[in-house]
Amino acid sequence: MPFIGNKPSAVPLTSADIADGIITSAKIVDGTIVNADINSSSAIALSKLSTTGTADATTFLRGDGAYTAVSSDFVLLATTTASASASVSFDGYYSSTYKNYQIIISNMVPATNTVKFHARYRRSNADVTASNYLTLMNWSDSATTGVQTARTYGSYASAQTALETFSHNESINNNSSYGMVMILDIHSPLDTDTYKVTQMRGYTLNSTSGNHVITQNIGILNDATTALSGISFYFSSGNIARGNFKLYGIK
């Protein structure tokens, strides 16, 4: 506006000179807002981000801004905690989603001393009890001198009615401080062109000598190539006093 007299000196604007809520995005130069301009407690909502997909409890936000379902090639399918249980079985969990399976047994203790731990494959929701199981193994135990004694054991002279999951002359101790641990890898149980094979490895305490025993076994069922439906575990006598069993599917 025109004025008479000397032009006054320019004075910088202050926040008091600008009314609240009048500066629009158009008045801000693009690319000038930097990280330091955003308060660390601003709590910007995810809805303000440019994303695709659906945000919920089953998805995660990928680096490309897409909400994506969580996927894994190693998935927990079932858990059983034994407590004075005659046996533990997993059945009906095999599917075309997974090629192979793994079972992890933790801190298992037999109710009875001097027993052996067995497994049986299942078909059509029932244990296979015919004498068509073979077991091959390597194992070692700690002698009283602390020296490791290595041993091997070939297939049974005659087929058995169950898989021997530990060396054939090692009976398991029911000392609750020495829980048995074991991992079983079950290969292609739904295939119908090969006999069924499971690899096993684990640790236990011998009931007669008190030696610590480790083993690596292969168990075979060679009666038919028919698909399996599951697997069962039990002791040669007495219950499973305690133990945790987890079944995983592997793609």
What is the token pair recorded at 8? 């006054």
Domains in the chain (CATH in brackets) are: 74-250 (2.60.120)
What per-residue confidence (pLDDT) applies to 61? 85
Cβ pair 55, 67 in contact under 8 A: yes
What per-residue confidence (pLDDT) applies to 93? 98
Cβ pair 190, 235 in contact under 8 A: no
pLDDT per residue, tens digit, the chain (251 aa), is 566 777 777 788 787 888 888 888 888 888 888 888 888 888 888 778 888 888 888 888 888 888 888 778 899 999 999 999 999 999 999 999 999 999 999 999 999 999 999 999 999 999 999 999 988 888 888 865 555 555 565 545 457 899 988 876 678 999 999 999 999 999 999 999 999 999 999 999 998 888 888 899 999 999 999 999 999 999 999 999 999 999 999 99
What per-residue confidence (pLDDT) applies to 123? 97
What per-residue confidence (pLDDT) applies to 148? 53
What per-residue confidence (pLDDT) applies to 240? 98
What per-residue confidence (pLDDT) applies to 146? 53
What per-residue confidence (pLDDT) applies to 200? 95
What per-residue confidence (pLDDT) applies to 144? 53
- What pTM was computed for the model? 0.74
What per-residue confidence (pLDDT) applies to 147? 52
Beta strand ranges found along the chain (DSSP E): 59-61, 67-69, 74-85, 88-91, 100-110, 117-123, 126-127, 133-142, 148-153, 163-164, 180-187, 196-205, 212-221, 230-235, 240-250
